[in-house]
A = this chain, B = another copy of it.
Amino acid sequence: MQTPDQPLHDEAAAPAPATRARGRPRAFDREAALSKAMRLFWQKGYEATSLADLTTAMGIASPSLYAAFGSKEALFVEALNHYGATYAWGWKNFLDAPTARDAVKAWLMDSAAFLTGGVEDVPLGCMATLSVIGAAGHQELCEQTRTARAAPRAVVRKRLEQGAANGEIPASVDLDALARFVQIVQNGMSLHARDGASRAELEAAVQVAMRSWDALVEG
């Protein structure tokens, strides 16, 4: 097993040789290769994805992989960031919604569609939620995925604060608990999507979850 964070090769950092022909295409499309790695980690999880899986999917040999991405661990972190950047549009309906309730419902309903492959042909469930779970000697990696998983709760919490500020949510409501509840539901949906739940089944569960919102807000 390669040592995390230790590049085995340093070709990427080396200056291009003077004899290199101008305009010569790189041996592989870095962005496309990263996207393939992202899908593989997403589908199989970090641990179950082997170097052979990666080189096959990415269409490059392992020295090129190490040269371009450093290590399996570093590649995963880059793939996770790529995931975040690629699917940032998933928050659009949330951010555009006029009320905090609409925002939360939009995020959960959009999640029901996205997590079950209803928006794009991608692996089921959320990459950040499902691809690194344990604490398997990859301390930094676990920390990174924990941070990635915590991020949506902060976004939801902020939107709830706005809802409380404009009187939509009574002051008596525990916003931390409500934000955590919303994220617990979204995370649980990832697992159910991976286990085969349909979009309609998740949407029905979201409808139940939104009853909590209404009960809380109506006091």
A97 CB-CB contact with B under 8 Å: no
Contact among B134, B150, B187, B194 with A188 in the assembled complex (CB-CB below 8 Å): B187
Within 168-198 of A, Cβ neighbours of B (below 8 Å) are at 174, 176-178, 180-181, 183-189, 191-192, 194-197
Interface of A is mostly: helix
Which residue on chain B has the smallest CB distance to residue A178?
B208
A48 touches B134 (CB 8 A): yes
A219 to chain B, nearest CB (A): 10
Please give, as numbers and ranges, the residues of chain B lying within 8 Å of A187 by CB-CB distance.
187-188, 191-192
A184 touches B180 (CB 8 A): no
B189 touches A184 (CB 8 A): yes
Please give, as numbers and ranges, the residues of chain B lying within 8 Å of A194 by CB-CB distance.
133
A177 touches B204 (CB 8 A): yes
Binds B, one of A11-19, A24-32, A77-85, A210-218: A210-218
A205 touches B177 (CB 8 A): yes
A93 CB-CB contact with B under 8 Å: no
A5 CB-CB contact with B under 8 Å: no
A207 CB-CB contact with B under 8 Å: yes
Please give, as numbers and ranges, the residues of chain B lying within 8 Å of A215 by CB-CB distance.
211-212, 214-215
- 16 more contacts with CB within 8 A, not counting A45-B47, A129-B191, are A43-B134, A45-B45, A47-B47, A48-B134, A48-B137, A149-B191, A174-B208, A176-B201, A184-B188, A184-B189, A187-B188, A187-B192, A191-B191, A208-B216, A209-B212, A212-B212
Q: Which 10 A-B pairs have the closest CB atoms?
A: A188-B188, A48-B136, A184-B188, A47-B47, A177-B204, A211-B215, A181-B208, A215-B215, A45-B134, A212-B212
